[in-house]
Amino acid sequence: MKTNIIYTCPKCGADLRHICITTYPGIDRIECSKCDWYYE
Binding residues vs Zn ion (CB under 5 A): 9, 11-12, 14, 32, 34-35, 37
Q: Decide if 17 contacts 31 (C-beta within 8 A).
A: yes
Nearer to Zn ion, 6 or 14 (CB): 14
Report the residue number, 18 or 24, with the smaller CB distance to Zn ion. Answer: 18
9: left (phi over 0), alpha (psi -120 to 50) or beta: beta
Closer to Zn ion by CB, 6 or 35: give it: 35
Give me the least distance between CB of 24 and Zn ion, in Å please. 29
Q: How far apart are CA 5 and CA 12, in angstroms?
A: 17
